[in-house]
Every structure is written in C-alpha cells, then in structure tokens.
Amino acid sequence: MTSSNDAIIQVEDFTVDYLDQRSWVNIANRVSFSIAPGETLGLAGESGCGKTTMGFSLFGYRRPGSRIRSGSVIFEGLDLLRLNDRELQPIRGAKIFMVPQNPASTLTPSMRVGRQVVETLQSHHITAGRKEAEGKTLKIFAQVGLPRPEDVFKRYPHELSGGQQQRVVIAIALACEPKLVVMDEPTTALDVTTQARILRLLDSLKNEYGLSVLFITHNLGVLAQICDRLAVMYAGELVEVAPTVELFKNPRHPYTRGLIAAVPRLNQPNDGKEKLQGLLRRDELPAGCRFAPRCGYALPKCFSDSQTLATVGQDHQAACWRWEHVKEEAG
C-alpha cells in the first residue's frame, strides 16, 4: 500500500453531491486512495458509479450543480480542492493531464494537430521557440507511433482515425511532461486491435517517462493488462483495493467477484451463478452497504451498518462484513 509520504497524489475522505432536480444525490462518499510515483492505479466500476467524478476531482474541477462536502486532494503539498482557477492553471495540463474517452473533445477541429501540440508546448513554456517546439512535436509523434509524423503534423483532427486522434492526445500529454496522467475510458471507443496497440503504447511510455497514471474504465480486462493496483468503486464508494494480480486471484468483495465473472473467457463460460443482479439505483441506497440490495451474501446487518475498507490480506482492503465467506467460496 502506498503511504502518504511517498504518494504523488493523496485523496482523503472525498465526498461530493450533485443536485438532481430538487434533491442532493451523493456521487462520491468518503473516498480515499493514493498513487505512487511511476504507478498505474486502475479505477473500476459500472457506469454511473462515480469514477469520472474522481478523475475530475484531481484537477480541482467542480461540475455545475455539485458540492464538495468533505475531503482533500493533496498534490505537491497543495490541496487542489482549496485552490481557485488561477492557482490551478499551472497544474492543469502541465503537471496533471487528462486523456478523455473521446479525443475529439480535446482537439480543436479547425486547427492542424501539429499546431495544437506546438501551442501547448509554448503556452507551458516547455520550449524556447517555435522551431524547437515543432521539432519536439515531430519527435513525440514518432514516439507515440504515428506514421509519417511530418504528414500528420499538417492534418486536421477529422482527417485522422480514432486511434490516431487518441495518439495525438497522448502526444499532447507527453509534451506537457506531467507527473500524473488521468485516463478516462481512453480505449472504449476504439476497435479491439487499436485498443491493444494503445495499451501497449501506454505501458511503454509510462516506463520511459516515469509517469503515474490513474486509469478509469468499466473494463476489467483492460485494467488487468496495464495496472499495478486496482480500486473497485460501487455507487460512489470504494469497496476493494488490491494489487492487480491479487485482486483477480482472490476477490474479497461480492461486487468485485461479479465484475470478474462478467469478463469473457475462452473455454470458461459464465454459468450465471455469480452474475450481477439488478441495476444500480442511487435513489434506493440502504443506510449500510450500498451493494446489499444486489448481494447474494447480504445479511440484515449489511442493510443497516456500513463497512469501511479494512485489511483482508497483504496490501489488500475490502469493505465487506462477510469477506471471509467470499474468500471461502473463491478458494
């Protein structure tokens, strides 16, 4: 487990609500985690569980209609949640960069992609002049595997494939030389072949640049390929955190078991025994464990008494009263 002393970023007790019509709905509840230098932490969970909200929190972003009730996000000794936009400007992009699911949301459609990288370099004062910025852009385009960098440099975003657009966004991230990259479903819209290439690229670049990464996705199969540790989120709460190999081998929370069982496997069909039942309903969350209404292990206590993350093994935490019963069946 990463201690607060050697973490590049430390999230503590983060709680945020959104205003839904006339009532507040909790999106993230007392979430705490850290990321070490050079580490890739995967944040997994179903759509709507609060993963993207956590990603935005690392930038100090507050979506319209939201309120932060508690928590801190400590980066380089500063609490990002306490800084204003002017104070956050030298951090956003330059030190913490976000790669979104849709690269088109980052790229300016009316500007050639090479110019976009050059202007990023110049705005963050990373290069001395335009000629140096253009040379570095071409070098980074080659590093991220874009064919004929000089040709790509002159193209507009719509002239590139989805995979090439995502590589350009990754190139912009590398150009900024950040310490932390947040990737929000960066491969979801790509075909399987392109997805595999992007994952190999990310793993290679992480090692080359010494990046720390928060990789957000609902796809456990993707996370298994690239992450050092996994944090599983359900209805705004972390329910399990462990090294990737350990979590897949010994899941201790029923929700984690259900997610793993949903991953397709050759010659190992899912018989439905561990299939997740029902849907996430934020308007019907019990006072205790939020997963209790969908859990086959739940006791009356689970509906009334909440459980926080507790140690269940080496560097392994789970928020479940019955984790030992889950362990017995998993074993």
Amino acid at 250: N
Q: What integer pLDDT is reported at residue 329 of this predicted model?
A: 66
Please give the distance of CA 271 from its chain centroid, rounded to a whole number.
30
Summarised one tens digit per residue, pLDDT across range 272-316 is 546 677 777 777 788 999 999 989 899 999 999 988 999 999 999
53-57, 154-158, 272-276: which has the minimum mean pLDDT? Answer: 272-276
What value does the mean pLDDT take over residues 191-202? Answer: 82
| pLDDT grade for 227, boundaries at 50, 70 and 90 | very high
Asked if residues 294 and 276 have their Cβ atoms less than 8 Å apart, the reply is yes
| pLDDT grade for 92, boundaries at 50, 70 and 90 | confident
Average pLDDT taken over every residue of the chain: 87
Amino acid at 32: S
Per-domain residue ranges of the chain: 1-95+178-227, 107-176
More confident residue, 247 or 270: 247
* DSSP one-letter code for 92: B
CA nearest neighbour of 236 among 55, 15, 8: 15
Summarised one tens digit per residue, pLDDT across range 121-143 is 888 767 668 899 899 999 999 98
Confidence check: pLDDT of 75 > 60:
yes
CATH T-level fold of 1-95+178-227:
Rossmann fold (3.40.50)
Pairing of strands 229-234, 237-243: antiparallel
Q: What integer pLDDT is reported at residue 194 of this predicted model?
A: 78
Rounded Cα gap, residues 39 and 47, in angstroms: 24
Confidence check: pLDDT of 44 > 90:
yes
The sign of the torsion formed by the CA atoms of 296, 221, 28, 40 equals positive
